[in-house]
């Protein structure tokens, strides 16, 4: 195991997130770290980073990073909000209290 590549501290957006890694050969589930950030000075894009704790056989340890223009970041945020509402509503129906 190479060990975690991302630095992780209290400012990391999500230090605990469920994830799936899918390759042509199959799918593995596990935990990971996700972080939205931008350069401290003069940021030119929003960075959305993700690292799964472990990788399936044959997949090297790595961090994936999206470089988002502001409008892309907002679009993503909007889509995430919409789906969050949907999940809340669905879970609310099933909730026992």
Q: What is the smallest separation between the CB atom of 49 and another protein, expressed in angstroms?
A: 12
In angstroms, rounded to a whole number, what is the distance separating the alpha carbons of residues 80 and 55? 25
Q: What is the smallest separation between the CB atom of 16 and another protein, expressed in angstroms?
A: 4
Taking CA 10 as the corner, what is the angle to CA 6 and CA 12, rounded to the nearest 5 degrees?
45
**Of the ranges 11-19, 21-29, 66-74, 83-91, which one interacts with another protein (CB under 8 A)?**
11-19
Footprint of another protein on 35-64 (CB under 8 A)? 39-42, 53-54
CA distances 34 to 18, 65, 87, Å, are: 10, 10, 20
In angstroms, rounded to a whole number, what is the distance separating the alpha carbons of residues 75 and 14? 19
In angstroms, rounded to a whole number, what is the distance separating the alpha carbons of residues 53 and 66? 18
Residues near another protein (CB under 8 A), total: 20
**Of the ranges 8-16, 21-29, 70-78, 89-97, which one interacts with another protein (CB under 8 A)?**
8-16
Residues of this chain that interact with another protein (CB under 8 A) are 1-11, 15-16, 31, 39-42, 53-54
């Amino acid at each position: 195991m190479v060990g975690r590549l991302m630095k992780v501290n209290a400012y990391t957006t999500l230090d605990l997130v469920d994830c799936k890694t899918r390759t042509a050969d199959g799918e593995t589930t596990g935990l990971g770290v996700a972080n939205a950030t931008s350069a401290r000075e003069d940021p030119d894009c929003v960075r959305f980073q993700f690292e799964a704790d472990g990788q399936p056989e044959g997949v090297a340890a790595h961090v994936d990073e999206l470089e988002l223009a502001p409008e892309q970041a907002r679009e993503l945020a909007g889509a995430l909000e919409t789906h969050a509402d949907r999940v809340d509503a669905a879970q609310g129906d099933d909730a026992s209290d």
